[in-house]
Amino acid sequence: MGVSLKDVAQRAGVSVKTVSNVVNSYPHVKPETRERVQRAIDDLGYRPNLTARHLRKGRTGIIALAVPELGNPYFADLATAVIDAASQHDHIVLLDHTAGLREKEVLVSQGFRSHIIDGLILSPIRLETEDLLARAGGPPLVLLGEREYDAPYDHIAIDNVAAARTAVRHLIELGKRRIAFLGARHESLRQPAHLRLRGWREEIRASGGVPDESLVLATDGYDRRDGAAAMTRLLDRTDPPDAVFAYNDLVALGAMRVLTERGLRIPEDIAVVGFDDIEEGQYAAVSLTTMSPDKTAIARLAVDCLVERIASGASTAAFPRRILPGCTLTVRESTIGRGRPGTGA
C-alpha cells in the first residue's frame, strides 16, 4: 500500500487528523503546520488513494454538486463547505454550473455523467417538480435551496420566510417604517416562490403596517449591478425609503454603492440588510448587516443525507426528509452604525 497517512503524521510530528486536514484542504491549519506536513508528504512521496476503497464497493467516490452561479460568493462558500464535508466521507466533489437554466438542471438531475458519480447535490432555480418525477433511475439526489418540490428526494433549505421576517423585524425595531424589498423576481421568468418577499409582507403586517408594494423592486438578476439599478430607480422617486431589505448581499452591496455616491448616510438615512453573509459584506466600508445561513450545516447535512442514500442503494427516498438548518441575523454597521456593536438600538 505504500506510504500511509500515519507515516506522514509520524514524520511531521503531528496527528493523523492534522495530516488529513492538510490533504483535504481544510482551511484552518496554521501555515507552519501545513508546511511541515507538506514537507513530510513530499519527502515520503505520499499519494492519497481516494478511490480504492470506493472501487471495492463498485463506486467511484465522486459526488457532483450543481449550483446556478459560480460568480456568486454564496455558492463558492457553499461549494467549499461541501468539498470539506465530502472529504470527511472520503468523497471528492465535481462542480457543475447550471446558470439557473432549466435545461441544464434537467440534464444534471437526470443523471448526466451518472457513470462517474455516486450521487448528486443540486441547487435548482427553474427545475420543475415534473422534471424530478420524470427522472428515471440516476444516482441518489439531494436538493438544496429555496425552491420547493413534492418529490421523493431529501431537501436541505433554510426557512426563508422566517429568516426574511427576522431581517425586517430588525429594521422595524430600529424605527424604520418605509422598508423597500430589492430583488423580487420578474413575473415573466416563472421563477421560484418569493419566500423572502412573503416574509417581508408578513412581518410588516405583523407589526401593524401595510406592505407598500411600490417599495418592491424587481431585478433582472441578483448581482451588484441589479442592486445598484434598483436602488437608483427607488431614489429617483419623490418619496424614498428609510431602509432596504435586499434579496441577497450582492444586491445589497450594489445598493450601498449608489447610496454612497448620492451622499446618503448608511444607516442614518437608509439602513440596509442583506442575505447570505458573504465575506465581502464584512469588509465593506460600511459593514453589512445580513442573514447568515449556516452554510457549514447545510453542506454537512446535504453530504450526510447523500452518503446515506448512496449506502442504501435506492435512487429515490421512500420517506424524503425536509431539513431546515439555522439562519441567524448578523448585525453590523449598515443598520446600527459604527461603535455600537452588538446592540440593536
Q: Which of 118, 203, 223, 276 binds a second copy (CB under 8 A)?
A: 223
Asked if 42 touches a second copy (CB under 8 A), the answer is: yes
Dihedral in degrees, nearest 10, Cα atoms 107, 108, 114, 119: -160
- Residue 264: beta bridge partners? none
What residues have CB less than 8 Å from 159, skipping those under 6 apart?
324, 327
Cα 89 to Cα 210: distance, rounded to the nearest angstrom: 49
- Residue 244: beta bridge partners? 180, 272
Q: How far is the CB of 81 from a second copy (least distance, A)?
A: 10
- Cα distances (angstroms) measured from residue 8 to each of 52, 172, 248, 325: 19, 56, 43, 36
Near a second copy in 90-129, by CB under 8 A: 93-99, 101-104, 106-107, 113, 116, 126
What residues have CB less than 8 Å from 289, skipping those under 6 apart?
170, 271, 272, 273, 274, 329, 330, 331, 332, 333, 334, 335, 336
Q: Which of 3, 16, 23, 172 binds a second copy (CB under 8 A)?
A: 23
Candidates 205-213, 221-229, 290-298, 307-315 — which segment interacts with a second copy by CB under 8 A?
221-229
Q: How far is the CB of 159 from a second copy (least distance, A)?
A: 26
Site string for a second copy, 48-67 (x = CB under 8 A): x-------------------
**SS3 of residue 170 by DSSP:** helix
Q: How far is the CB of 116 from a second copy (least distance, A)?
A: 5
- Nearer to a second copy by Cβ, of 73 and 199: the residue is 73
Q: How many residues bind a second copy (CB under 8 A)?
A: 58
Asked if 80 touches a second copy (CB under 8 A), the answer is: yes
- Nearer to a second copy by Cβ, of 203 and 223: the residue is 223
Q: How far is the CB of 320 from a second copy (least distance, A)?
A: 25
3-state helix, strand, coil in the chain (%, to 5): 45, 15, 40
Residue type, 241: P
Cα 183 to Cα 161: distance, rounded to the nearest angstrom: 15
- Provide the binding-site residues for a second copy, judged by CB under 8 A: 22-23, 25, 27, 31-32, 35, 38, 41-42, 46-48, 70-71, 73, 76-77, 79-80, 83, 93-99, 101-104, 106-107, 113, 116, 126, 186, 188-190, 220, 223-224, 228, 253-254, 256-257, 260, 279-280, 282-287
